[in-house]
A and B are shown apart, each in its own frame.
Chain A
Amino acid sequence: MNSEYEVVIGLEVHVQLTTATKIFCGCSTAFGNAPNAQTCPVCLGLPGALPVLNRQVVENAIRTGLATDCRIAPRSIFARKNYFYPDLPKGYQISQFELPICEHGHLDIPLDDGTSKRIGITRIHMEEDAGKLQHGETPATADSSFVDLNRACTPLLEIVSEPDMRSADEAITYLKKLHQMVKALQVCDGNMEQGSFRCDANVSIRPWGQAELGTRAELKNINSFRFIKQAIEYEVERQADVLESGGKVIQETRLFDSTSGTTRSMRGKEEAHDYRYFPDPDLVPLVIDADWIERVRDALPELPEAKRARFVRDYGIPAYDAGVLTQNHEVSSYFDTTVAAGADPKQASNWIMGEVQRRLNDAGSEISAAPVDPAMLAGMLKRIADKTISGKIAKTVFDEMWKSGTDADTIIEAKGLKQVTDSGAIEAIINDVIANNAPQVADYRAGKEQLLGFFVGQVMKASKGKANPAAVNDMLKKKLQE
């Protein structure tokens, strides 16, 4: 990256809310239905239809605002943003302009050097999504576009940051943290492929030390963390090249092309960004009192950062483990429940990050669908802790639990997997092994002590893995020295 310039990035994130219905009408927000099946006079923009605000959207906006330390506006209003496009049936989008519901917040992001950096959040406002446009590709449809309004009027929060980020990596760190947060708050499902979490990046560069910002380009609707990083890095190079060759960066909207990894100008749309916002007379002002805010605050779930700290503090697991386990809300609850059911925290963490996660990845499924639930995992870990089974046998037990959905105790009993700690039984096996391997015994006694492993192996094999390895070790040493 060109180091003569400082990079300045601000992000606008559109978060689709997990409400059952649209923001201003009772149509379902479910994804993937037949085109236009989920529409009504309000979201079709038919004359005379009256939008009415979904209360849950306001709850979700307040939640998100409180989690980012925003000021929740005691009074906010909706505005019409006027422009023509076929995916926007009313000819205007209902959004918020002058008086958004949340303002002046921030999010602290961790930096590589271990410090953290505060990213300002200018505002969070509520708005409706547009419909979906598909462009005809066959010869018969080449001159047409097709409009599906199922998505029209779906509730969105737009979260606008200050231009506080100084590299693509900082931007990604901020986005990932925000992504985790909205999922933990259960306001958004975080599905980037389906467009539930989308990002526009405002990118500019300026010579080091210059106070005023350079002219920015707005990179639109990029739907993966990797693409956002690519798009920003490409854009920084492009702007540096323009400045180097004596040119000027123009303020414009650019589209990222993921196949070429480049951005290109959306010429023609930059003219007249004159949205003529005005208060929407169909929607009455929204007044939020302190009681409402406090009720939402009391019901806020624990956020990933707080959870990470608690796992380290209360469970004594390494910060690394805590970081991995809290990346996903379902995984962290699974871990919490496993420990609450009596499992050793570090063991629980090892198994969840290891065996559980590996099998889920293989099956391409989520932890909520795991055939081994937290109580079952805890049940098995307790049998390791009380030495009923060894860690090695536990793998077999776990396999069986995963396949059959039966609990560990039943499996241990049915398959006779109980660890043999009875010294009489172990001693009998050891005597057999010593009697059957006279040459190796002689070598060991002559000083070839590395043969101990061989004997342990023989004993474990004869016991079908059920002998307690530590007990076998001790007893073998004693017997071989006799």
Chain B
Amino acid sequence: MKISREQVVQVAKLARLELDNDELDALTGQMDAILAYVDKLNELDTDGIIPTSHAVPVENAFRPDAPVPSLGTEKALSNAPAAADGCFKVPKVIE
């Protein structure tokens, strides 16, 4: 097994996914199969090869430090499920 049911529970929790037992069983099986498939790459000898972080050979894409117009409050909030006083309104979070 490449991944345990407990690990799937943990990953689901971190992703805020609520899964029932059947879903957990199904996903554990699927993820295990995916990891086993990707694991095939471990058969390659990768000694001395720098890990790839990006698939395209592009580097240094920059923007000048010059302001461009923003959306503005009204547009920014136009898709918000709840808003008040120019702010997104969310259930109270306490630190």
A residues bordering B, Cβ < 8 Å? 19-21, 24-28, 34-41, 44, 52-58, 75, 77, 82, 84-86, 133-136, 141-149, 255, 266, 269, 272, 274, 276, 279, 281, 283-287
Q: Are A36 and B62 in contact (CB under 8 A)?
A: no
Residues of the A chain whose Cβ atoms lie less than 8 Å from the Cβ of B67: 20-21, 26-28
Q: Are A37 and B53 in contact (CB under 8 A)?
A: no
Query: Closest residue of chain A to B86, judged by CB?
Result: A35
Q: Are A144 and B60 in contact (CB under 8 A)?
A: no
Given A142-B92, A145-B91, check contact A276 B14 (CB 8 Å). yes
User: In whole angstroms, how far apart are the Cα atoms of A472 and B79 in the complex?
Assistant: 83
Q: Are B53 and A279 in contact (CB under 8 A)?
A: yes
Given A36-B73, A37-B72, A141-B84, check contact A284 B93 (CB 8 Å). no
Given A36-B73, A146-B89, check contact A284 B13 (CB 8 Å). no
Instruction: For residue B73, give the distance in angstroms from its CB to the closest CB of chain A.
Output: 5
User: In whole angstroms, how far apart are the Cα atoms of A354 and B91 in the complex?
Assistant: 54
Given A53-B62, A54-B63, A287-B60, check contact A147 B70 (CB 8 Å). no
**Is B71 located at the chain interface by the 8 A CB criterion?**
yes
Residues of the B chain whose Cβ atoms lie less than 8 Å from the Cβ of A276: 14
Q: Are B93 and A133 in contact (CB under 8 A)?
A: yes
Given A35-B73, A274-B14, check contact A284 B88 (CB 8 Å). no
B residues bordering A, Cβ < 8 Å? 10, 13-14, 16, 53-56, 58-68, 70-73, 76-77, 82, 84-95
Query: Closest residue of chain B to A281, judged by CB?
Result: B54
Residues of the B chain whose Cβ atoms lie less than 8 Å from the Cβ of A269: 95
Q: Are B70 and A38 in contact (CB under 8 A)?
A: yes
User: In whole angstroms, how far apart are the Cα atoms of A338 and B58 in the complex?
Assistant: 50
Partner of A147, one of B62, B66, B88: B88
Q: Are B92 and A144 in contact (CB under 8 A)?
A: yes
User: In whole angstroms, how far apart are the Cα atoms of A143 and B53 in the complex?
Assistant: 42
A-B contact pairs, 17 of them (CB 8 A): A21-B63, A27-B68, A37-B73, A40-B71, A44-B76, A52-B61, A53-B61, A54-B62, A55-B64, A77-B54, A85-B93, A135-B92, A145-B91, A146-B87, A147-B88, A147-B90, A284-B54
Q: Are A144 and B88 in contact (CB under 8 A)?
A: no
User: In whole angstroms, how far apart are the Cα atoms of A206 and B68 in the complex?
Assistant: 52
Instruction: For residue B33, give the distance in angstroms from its CB to the closest CB of chain A.
Output: 21
Residues of the B chain whose Cβ atoms lie less than 8 Å from the Cβ of A149: 76, 88
Residues of the A chain whose Cβ atoms lie less than 8 Å from the Cβ of B55: 281
Residues of the B chain whose Cβ atoms lie less than 8 Å from the Cβ of A142: 92
- Among B10, B53, B60, B71, which residue has the most Cβ atoms of chain A within 10 A? B53
User: In whole angstroms, how far apart are the Cα atoms of A40 and B68 in the complex?
Assistant: 10
Q: Is the interface of B mostly helix, strand, loop or mixed?
A: loop
Residues of the A chain whose Cβ atoms lie less than 8 Å from the Cβ of B60: 284-287
Given A143-B91, A143-B92, A279-B54, check contact A27 B70 (CB 8 Å). yes
Residues of the A chain whose Cβ atoms lie less than 8 Å from the Cβ of B65: 19-21, 54-57
- Among B68, B76, B77, B90, which residue has the most Cβ atoms of chain A within 10 A? B76
Query: Closest residue of chain A to B63, judged by CB?
Result: A52
Q: Are B16 and A84 in contact (CB under 8 A)?
A: yes
User: In whole angstroms, how far apart are the Cα atoms of A266 and B65 in the complex?
Assistant: 37
Given A20-B67, A34-B73, A286-B59, check contact A146 B85 (CB 8 Å). yes
Q: Are A26 and B71 in contact (CB under 8 A)?
A: no
Instruction: For residue B7, give the distance in angstroms from its CB to the closest CB of chain A.
Output: 11
Partner of B59, one of A56, A86, A145, A287: A287
Q: Are A146 and B84 in contact (CB under 8 A)?
A: yes
User: In whole angstroms, how far apart are the Cα atoms of A266 and B92 in the complex?
Assistant: 16
Instruction: For residue B95, give the distance in angstroms from its CB to the closest CB of chain A.
Output: 6
User: In whole angstroms, how far apart are the Cα atoms of A147 and B90 in the complex?
Assistant: 8
Q: Are A135 and B86 in contact (CB under 8 A)?
A: no
Known: A53-B61, A56-B64, A57-B65. 13 other contacts (CB 8 A): A20-B66, A36-B73, A36-B88, A37-B86, A44-B71, A44-B76, A54-B63, A54-B64, A56-B65, A144-B84, A145-B91, A149-B76, A285-B53
6 interchain residue pairs of minimum CB distance: A26-B68, A146-B87, A56-B65, A35-B86, A279-B53, A147-B88
Residues of the B chain whose Cβ atoms lie less than 8 Å from the Cβ of A56: 64-65
User: In whole angstroms, how far apart are the Cα atoms of A82 and B76 in the complex?
Assistant: 23
Residues of the B chain whose Cβ atoms lie less than 8 Å from the Cβ of A279: 53-54
User: In whole angstroms, how far apart are the Cα atoms of A357 and B53 in the complex?
Assistant: 54
- Among A135, A146, A281, which residue has the most Cβ atoms of chain B within 10 A? A146
Partner of A86, one of B64, B68, B72, B93: B93
